[in-house]
Amino acid sequence: MQNLIRSEREARGWTQAVLAEHLEVSRQTVVALETGKYDPSLPLAFRIAHVFDKPIEVLFTPALTS
Amino acid sequence: MTSDLDSGGESPTERRRRRSFRVRLWVGTGCYLLASFALFEWGHATSPWRVVWAVLPLLFMVWVIVVIVLRVRRLDEYQVKLLFPGLAVGFTVAMFAAVTLGTLSGAGFDVPNAGWPVALIGIVAWEFTNLVTGASKA
3-state secondary structure of A60: strand
Q: CA-CA distance, A57 to A46, in Å (whole number)?
A: 10
* Contacts A–B by Cβ distance under 8 A: 62
Task: Say how many Å lie between the first and final Cα of chain A, rounded.
Answer: 14
- What's the pLDDT at B115? 83
CB contact at 8 A, B99 and B114: no
Rounded Cα gap, residues B126 and B89, in angstroms = 6
pLDDT digits (tens, 9 = 90+) for A35-58: 999 999 999 999 999 999 999 999
Residue B56 has pLDDT above 80, yes or no: yes
Q: What are phi and psi of A40, to 5 degrees?
A: -70, 160
3-class state of residue A30 by DSSP: helix
The rounded distance, in Å, linking the Cα atoms of B130 and B90 is 10
- pLDDT for A25 equals 94
What number is the ipTM of this complex? 0.87
C-alpha distances in Å from residue A37, one per residue of A53, B8, B41, B78, B103: 23, 20, 52, 10, 43
Which residue from B minimizes the CA distance to A37? Answer: B78
* CA pair distance A5, A33, nearest whole angstrom: 8
Provide, rounded to the nearest whole percent, the portion of chain B with pLDDT above 90: 41
Average pLDDT, chain B: 85
Mutate to test the interface with A, among B14, B16, B71, B80 (most CBs of A within 10 A): B14
Least confident range of B10-19, B28-37, B77-86? B10-19
- The region of weakest confidence among A12-16, A24-28, B45-49, B98-102 is B45-49
Q: What is the pTM of this model?
A: 0.75
Residues of B in contact with A25 (CB under 8 A): 76-78
Write phi, then psi, for B26 (nearest 5 degrees): -70, -30
Q: Are the Cβ atoms of A28 and B78 closer than 8 angstroms?
A: yes
Average pLDDT, chain A: 92
